[in-house]
Amino acid sequence: MVRDFYDDVVIELLRDGVLDTGMRVLVVCGGRTDRLVMERCGFRDVVISNLGVRPAGRDLGSFGWSEQDSERLGFDDESFDFVVVHSGLHHCYFVYRFTEREIVKTVHSYAPYARHDIRFFYRMRIPWGHLRLRRNRGLYLAVRLARPVLKLVEVCAPRQSNNFAALILKPDLSRTLHPWLRRTDGAVEVNSDWLATRYRTITAPRPSRQRS
């Protein structure tokens, strides 16, 4: 099978040390493609999840299976080192338009107390399989002709590519908590010391006397 953008991103993250093949990985909205990529990249401890029934054994190889709705995962926190989703999130209700901004907004809304480390990868990914299947060969030939231009767009203006991947790292709260907040016994609360160094305390004005 041809190495794809999916493989390339996972391989780059392995090379950068973000991922490790010994990690326990959960794949949501998963299927055969995910199994093949995870196997090719050397992962051993993977659980593939999706709605509905378990795919036939050979489609999961040695990986585990779990029936899961990606919007209501039933696992305890910290059950996995890494979660992967490929070509699946556009099925979810939370997505209005699938853009980088939507991802940033969703992550910040979920955990507004920290600075998040979100990294994007871009690729002009041409769906050759779909194009070849069309009865009308016109579009396939047009895209083949336009290929050098599309490549140029990918190199010169990567954000204009038709595909992106996002890496969202869970924030390390000892480094990324906003300075006006602090953690006490695991709970996030306002850091009144930080506020006191920057703002004066305002005492509430006394209510003025009303003339009768």
Ligand X SMILES: C[S@@+](CC[C@H](N)C(=O)[O-])C[C@H]1O[C@@H](n2cnc3c(N)ncnc32)[C@H](O)[C@@H]1O
Q: Report if residue 87 touches ligand X, rule: CB under 6 A.
A: yes
> What does DSSP say about strands 117-123 and 82-85: parallel, antiparallel, or unpaired?
unpaired
Quick one: which H or E segment has residue 187?
strand 187-190
Which residue lies nearer to ligand X by CB, 34 or 154?
Answer: 34
* Segment near ligand X (CB under 6 A); pick from 17-25, 85-93, 108-116, 193-201: 85-93
Who contacts 51 (Cβ-Cβ below 8 Å, separation ≥6)? 67, 68, 69
Closest C-alpha among 189, 169, 172 to residue 181? 189
Structure tokens given for 202: 């305002």
What whole-number distance in Å separates Cα of residue 181 and Cα of residue 168? 22
What whole-number distance in Å separates Cα of residue 9 and Cα of residue 173? 26
Q: Which of residues 154-173 bind ligand X (CB under 6 A)?
A: none
Binding ligand X (rule: CB under 6 A), the pick from 9, 19, 25, 34 is 34
Which residue lies nearer to ligand X by CB, 38 or 124?
Answer: 38
Q: Report if residue 66 touches ligand X, rule: CB under 6 A.
A: no
Q: Report if residue 30 touches ligand X, rule: CB under 6 A.
A: yes
Which residue lies nearer to ligand X by CB, 7 or 69?
Answer: 69
Binding ligand X (rule: CB under 6 A), the pick from 31, 55, 158, 171 is 31
Q: Report if residue 71 touches ligand X, rule: CB under 6 A.
A: yes
Q: Report if residue 88 touches ligand X, rule: CB under 6 A.
A: yes
What whole-number distance in Å separates Cα of residue 54 and Cα of residue 65? 7
Closest C-alpha among 80, 45, 73 to residue 170? 80
* Segment near ligand X (CB under 6 A); pick from 12-20, 27-35, 112-120, 163-171: 27-35
Q: Are 51 and 91 in contact (CB under 8 A)?
A: no
Which residue lies nearer to ligand X by CB, 66 or 176?
Answer: 66
Please state whether 208 falls in left (phi above 0), alpha (psi between -120 and 50) or beta: beta
Q: Report if residue 50 touches ligand X, rule: CB under 6 A.
A: yes
Q: Report if residue 35 touches ligand X, rule: CB under 6 A.
A: no
Q: Report if residue 190 touches ligand X, rule: CB under 6 A.
A: no
Contact residues for ligand X, defined by CB under 6 A? 28-31, 33-34, 50-51, 69-71, 86-88, 91-92
